[in-house]
Amino acid sequence: MRNLLSLFDLSTEEIEAIFSIAADLKAKLAKGVREPLLQGRVMGLLFEKQSLRTRVSFETGMAQLGGSSLFLGEDVGWGKRETPQDFGRVISQYLDFIVCRAKSHERVTELAEHCTCSIINGLTDLFHPCQALADLMTVQEEFGSLKGMKIAYVGDGNNVSRSLALACAKMGAEFAIASPEGYELDQPFLIRVDQACPDSFVKMTHDPFEAVDGAVAVYTDVWASMGQEAEQAQREVAFADYQVNKKLMDAAAKDAIFLHCLPAKRGQEVTDEVMDAKTSRIVEQAGNRMHAQKGVLVWLSQQNG
- Residues flagged as binding site: 101, 128-131, 159, 221, 225-226, 261-262, 289
Catalytic residue among 107, 289, 291, 293, which? 289
**Active-site option among 96, 125, 261, 285:** 261
Distance, C-alpha 282 to centroid of its chain: 13
Task: Answer yes or no: 140 catalytic.
Answer: no
105 part of the active site: no
- Determine whether 53 is an active site residue: no
What would you report as the CA-atom Rg of the chain, rounded to the nearest whole angstrom?
19
DSSP label at residue 280: B
Query: Helices 129-143 and 12-30 sit at what angle, rounded to 10 degrees?
Result: 70
DSSP 76: G
Secondary element (H or E) of residue 28: helix 12-30
Q: Which of 125, 135, 156, 221 is catalytic?
A: 221
45 torsion bin: left (phi>0), alpha (psi -120 to 50), beta (else): beta
Position 11, amino acid: S
Concerning whether 221 is annotated as a catalytic residue, the answer is: yes
Active site residue 291: no
Could you tell me if 248 and 273 are in contact, meaning their C-beta atoms sit under 8 angstroms apart? Answer: no
Annotated binding site for carbamoyl phosphate: 101, 128-131, 261-262, 289
Q: Which residue of the set 101, 260, 281, 291 is catalytic?
A: 101
Catalytic member of 53, 107, 128, 291? 128
Dump the DSSP string for 209-274.
Answer: HHHHTT-SEEEE--SS-TT-GGGHHHHHHHTGGG-B-HHHHHTSSTT-EEEE-S---BTTTB-HHH
Find out whether 167 and 19 touch, Cβ atoms under 8 Å.
no
User: Of 41, 64, 125, 131, which residue is the catalytic one?
Assistant: 131
Give catalytic residues, as residue numbers: 101, 128, 131, 221, 261, 289
